[in-house]
Amino acid sequence: MFTGIRRVVRAGFVGFWRSAYVSLASIFVMMVALFVIGSTMLIEQLLTSSLSTLQSKVDINVYFEPSAPQEEIDAVRKAVAALPDVAHVTYLSREDALQRYRERYQNNEIAMQALNELGENPLGATIAIQARETSQYESIARFLEEQRTQTAAQNPIIEDINYARNKESIDTLTSIIAAVERASFITMLVLLIAAVLISFNTIRLAIYTSREEIGIMRLVGASNTFIRGPFMLQGVMYGVISGVLALLILYPVLVWLGPRTELYFEFNLFTYFVGNFTYFFVTLVGIGVAIGLISSTLAVARYLRV
């Protein structure tokens, strides 16, 4: 068995170097495909990080009446925090709201004079609600409107809910997230199909150029494994080499690009790549090997009738 495996491996390397130009062409195409796939993964992570930052800045603010009892405010806050769609609820008391107002308008004499003339705190407490997903804000807003309607019948405690003013921004962000996910999936799918087709044609060409040798091996009684094995090995070699080359090209590109993405997006692509190098290596090389195996298997099954 060991001797047979050694012969298959040797025949695979010999066939790889014998058709060097064809092999290089296939490796180049697969390398480009894997490079673009790796770039797409990085760009998707960059956009995801940027969208997460934007998403963290989008929320629903509930403004309570200044006269609202504290126990009723706490009841609404706890009810909202218990919703499965809610990720975080930030409470701002009347005193904290007044302090923020003073700090914000400390250089505005008219605003400070008007506040002093009132003689009391005109501001009510607020809660800022962040959803787990942007698409969940609408259901949270409906729940808040129900709470507002119930309390309004007795003693109104909710003065305003700013979801209507933020709805356009929330809907736009939701659409962008969905579009990025679809575009990334379609791009990767197209590139994978292209790489499989190129590798398939390369293996087919290698089988065609070796047809006389294959005929001789059949005559002397070579096993099907021995005939098929070298072509399968060549497909794996294409994938491994292409994946490694794609990583080697990505590295200097990210060295140059990383500080710029950190400047504009607050996310360093190079740091992320280095920190997750094992993941990228396994993913790209694994995809390359899978493409090579699939294409060689299809080519052998289609054009090598043994």
Domain assignments of the chain as residue spans, ordered by start = 2-54+173-303, 66-156
The answer on pLDDT for 257 being more than 70 is yes
Compute the average pLDDT of residues 25-36: 82
- Rounded-to-integer distance, Cα 235 and Cα 207, Å: 12
Residues 6 or more apart in contact with residue 3 via CB below 8 angstroms: none
Domain range 66-156, CATH architecture: 2-Layer Sandwich (3.30)
CA distances from 27 to 11, 247, 282 (A): 19, 13, 18
Compute the average pLDDT of residues 132-154: 79
Per-residue pLDDT at 286 = 92
The label of the residue with tokens 């807003």 reads 141
Per-residue pLDDT at 277 = 94
More confident residue, 264 or 11: 264
List pLDDT tens digits, range 67-87: 888 888 888 888 888 988 888
The region that residue 208 occupies, defined by phi over 0 for left and psi between -120 and 50 for alpha, beta otherwise, is alpha
Confidence of residue 192 (pLDDT cuts 50, 70, 90): confident
Please count the other Cβ atoms lying within 10 Å of the Cβ belonging to residue 99.
13
